[in-house]
Amino acid sequence: MKRIVALILCGVFVLFAACGKTEEPEKLGGVRTAAGDVYPEAVATIEGETVGFDEFRYYYMNYRDLHLSEDENAFEKEGAEEALKDEALDGILKNRGARLLAEERGISLSDGEKKEVEEAIKQDLSLFGEDDLIQSLHESYMSRQLYRESLSFQKLYQKLFDSYYGEGGTDVYDDEAFLRYYKTNYLAVQEIYLSYERGEKAGSCPQTRQSALAVVSRLETGEDFWKLVEEYGEDPGMELEPDGYYFTQGEAEEVLYQASLSLKENEVSEPIEAATGIYIIRRVPIRDEKALKRKTDVLNGYEDGAGVHHAGVYENLFLSLVEAKSQTLKVEKMPVWDEISTKSVY
> What are the pLDDT digits (tens) for 170-206?
999 999 999 999 999 999 999 999 999 999 999 999 9
Q: Give the number of other Cβ atoms within 10 Å of residue 95's Cβ.
A: 22
For residues 346 and 341, what is the distance between their CA atoms, to the nearest angstrom? 10
Q: Chain-centre distance of CA 275, in angstroms? A: 25
Q: Most distant CA pair in the chain: distance in Å?
A: 84
What are the backbone angles phi and psi of residue 240, rounded to the nearest 5°?
-85, -10
Q: What is the model's pLDDT at position 304?
A: 86
Whole-structure pTM value: 0.83
Query: What one-letter code names the amino acid at 256?
Result: L
265-294 burial, b for 16+ CB within 10 Å, e for fewer? eeebbebbbbeebbbbbbbbebeeeebeee
Domains of the chain: 3-173+306-339 (1.10.4030), 187-285 (3.10.50.40)
Query: What one-letter code names the amino acid at 136?
Result: S
Q: What is the model's pLDDT at position 35?
A: 85
For residues 31 and 33, what is the distance between their CA atoms, to the nearest angstrom? 6
> What are the pLDDT digits (tens) for 129-180?
999 989 999 999 999 899 999 999 999 999 999 999 999 999 999 999 999 9
pLDDT band at 305 (very low <50, low <70, confident <90, very high): confident
> What are the pLDDT digits (tens) for 266-279?
999 999 999 999 99
Size (the chain), residues: 346
Flag whether pLDDT at 19 surpasses 60. no
217 contacts: CB under 8 Å, gap ≥ 6: none
- The answer to whether the Cα torsion of 107, 112, 118, 119 is positive or negative is negative
For residues 140 and 14, what is the distance between their CA atoms, to the nearest angstrom? 8
Flag whether pLDDT at 12 surpasses 70. no
Cα 293 to Cα 112, 231, 285, 288, 297, distances in angstroms: 37, 30, 16, 9, 9
Flag whether pLDDT at 226 surpasses 60. yes
Q: How many Cα atoms within 13 Å fall on the side-chain side of residue 337?
A: 16
SS3 content of the chain, % helix, strand, coil (to 5): 55, 15, 35
pLDDT band at 16 (very low <50, low <70, confident <90, very high): very low
Flag whether pLDDT at 7 surpasses 80. no
